[in-house]
Copies of this chain bind each other. A is one copy, B any other.
Amino acid sequence: MIRLRGNAIVGQSGGPTAVINQSLVGLIEAAHQLPEIETLLGARYGVNGILAERFIDLFQESKETLEAVAQTSSAALGSVRKKPTTDECAQMFEVMRKHNVRYFFYIGGNDSAETALLVNQMAVETRYELRCFHVPKTVDNDIRETDHCPGYGSAAKFIANAFIGDNLDNRALPGIKLNIIMGRHAGFLTAASALAKERADDGPHLIYLPERPITREQIRDEVAEVYQRLGRCIVAVSEGLIDAGSATQQTFTEVILEEATEIERDTHGNIQLSGSGALGDWLANYLRTELGSKLRVRADTFGYLQRSFPGTISDVDAREARICGRMAFEFVTQGDIDGSVVMRRHAHNGVYGIEYQYTDLANVARDTKKLPEHYIAATGNYVTPDFLDYVRPLVGTLPTVGVFDGISESSKGEMGATQ
C-alpha cells in the first residue's frame, strides 16, 4: 500500500464539547507515528483558518502540552460555524497546494461532516488529491450511524448532576421546577435527565422531548397531576419542544417569539423575548397563570454550561473521544478512504464495549438522528428502561444520594414555600 506523502490539516468546528480536544490530541498522536506525514497543521477557527492561512504546527507541541490540552474543555484550535462556498473551497485548495496538504481532518457535528463532504467532492472534481476524514463530536448526540457521539456522555453527566441536585433542592423547598435543556431536534440530552431518578418520587417527573409535539394545555394538565400527587414537580424540557397547537408545528420558542413581535413594535424595540431564558420564563408564567399565582414555579435554562463544564467530564467519553481521533488517522492512511468515524456498541457478557469503524461522509452529513422510538415511553412524557441501559455506560459514576430512613419515600411537601 502506497500512502500519500505530504502534510495534514486538522480543524475543529461547531459548538464545543468537553472532550473535543481529546479527539484532536488522539489524532496528533497517531500522526506522529507516520513518517509520510511531515507536518500536522492546526487550523485556527476551522475552515476560516485554512482560508486565512492561520495555522499552528501541532508537531511542535510537547507531550505534556498535548496531555494538558486533551484534558481541557472546548476547542483548543478555536471553532467556527460555516459552510464554505464553491469559491472558498477552490481558495482552500490553493492554500493546501501551497502547503502540500494531502489530508484534511474535521472534528465536528453533521454540519462539519457536510463541509468535509463538500471539500472532498470539490477535491475530486478539481483533481486535487486529498483524503478527507470527519471525527464526530456533539453534545446533542444526533449524528447518524454511530452508536453515540463523543461529547454526549460528558454533557449527559452534567445534566444528570444538575437534576440530582435540583431534585434534592426541590424536595427541600417544594414547588414546580422547569429545566430547559439543549438539543434543537434530538432529545438525547433532555432524556439524560432521567439518570437522576433513583427513588420512586424523584424527579424528573416529566420529560418533554422534541420528538413528541405537545400542547401547552397538555403540559399544564400533566404538571398539575404530578403536583397533586407529590406536592412538587420537576420537568425536563427540550429547547426544541414543538407546540402541537401551532398551525405549522413550530417550536414553543418560535411561537413565543411570534407572540412577542407585536409587543416589540408597541415598545419601540426595547423589549425582546429572544434570548436563552425566554422559553423557561414563558412556561413558568403560563403555569403560574393557569394553576395558581401563589404556586412556587421556577425555571432554569442550562445554557452553554452544558457543553464545556469541566467539573463533570465522563471518563468513558474522554477515552472514546481520544480513540476516535486516533482511528480517523488510522483509517485515512489505510488507502483511498474518506469517511467518518463510527462507534459500534457490543456487549460481551453484558460488558459494554465499542468497536471503531468508519462510514461514508454522505451517511453522516446533513441529516441528523432523532431519539429512537423505543427510547420514548408510550405516554410520550418520559423515557424507557431501554434508554437508561443505553445512556448509563456513556456517563459513568454519578453522585450517590443518601436519605434518612425516617423519611418515607412519598414526602408530600409543605405548600407555600417561597424562593
Listed in ascending order, the chain A residues whose CB lies under 8 Å from chain B are 12, 15-16, 18, 21, 42, 44-45, 48, 56-58, 60-62, 65, 67-81, 157-158, 161-162, 164-166, 168-169, 171-173, 177, 259-260, 262-263, 266-267, 269-278, 280-282, 284-285, 289, 298-305, 307-312, 399-407, 411, 413-414, 417-419
Contacts and interface: CB of A to CB of B under 8 A. Distances in A.
Cβ-closest 10 pairs across A and B: A277-B277, A68-B402, A56-B406, A275-B281, A74-B168, A300-B303, A165-B308, A310-B399, A161-B311, A69-B402
B309 A161 contact: yes
A297 B11 CA distance: 24
B173 A81 contact: yes
Contacts of A158: 311
A303 B280 CA distance: 12
A267 B282 CA distance: 14
A42 B414 contact: no
A309 B266 contact: no
* Most chain B Cβ neighbours within 10 Å, of A67, A172, A259: A172
A60 B62 CA distance: 57
A266 B418 CA distance: 28
A399 B311 contact: yes
A57 B406 contact: yes
B281 A67 contact: no
Given A21-B402, A76-B404, 14 more contacts: A44-B411, A48-B414, A56-B406, A67-B402, A70-B402, A74-B172, A78-B411, A168-B308, A260-B271, A275-B298, A275-B299, A300-B304, A301-B303, A305-B305
11 contacts: A61-B404, A62-B405, A68-B401, A71-B402, A77-B172, A161-B310, A166-B304, A259-B267, A271-B273, A272-B285, A298-B304
A69 B168 CA distance: 11
B281 A277 contact: yes
Given A16-B173, A305-B302, A401-B72, A417 B164 contact: no
A298 B276 contact: yes
A285 B278 CA distance: 12
Contact of A16 (B78, B169, B269): B169
Contacts of A411: 44, 78
* Most chain B Cβ neighbours within 10 Å, of A68, A69, A78: A78
Contacts of A405: 60-62, 65
B168 A406 contact: no
Contacts of A417: 45, 79-81
Copy number of this protein in the oligomer?
2
A312 B65 CA distance: 25
Contacts of A284: 275
A58 B407 CA distance: 10
A158 B312 CA distance: 11
A315 B100 CA distance: 52
A48 B172 CA distance: 12
A305 B180 CA distance: 12
A173 B78 CA distance: 7
A42 B407 CA distance: 10
Contacts of A173: 15-16, 78-81
Contact of A45 (B162, B312, B413): B413
A73 B402 CA distance: 9
Contacts of A16: 168-169, 172-173
Nearest to A184: B419
Nearest to A270: B259
Contacts of A12: 172
A81 B417 CA distance: 6
Contact of A75 (B172, B260, B278, B414): B172
A50 to B, nearest CB: 12
A119 to B, nearest CB: 19
A77 B414 CA distance: 12
A62 B301 CA distance: 38
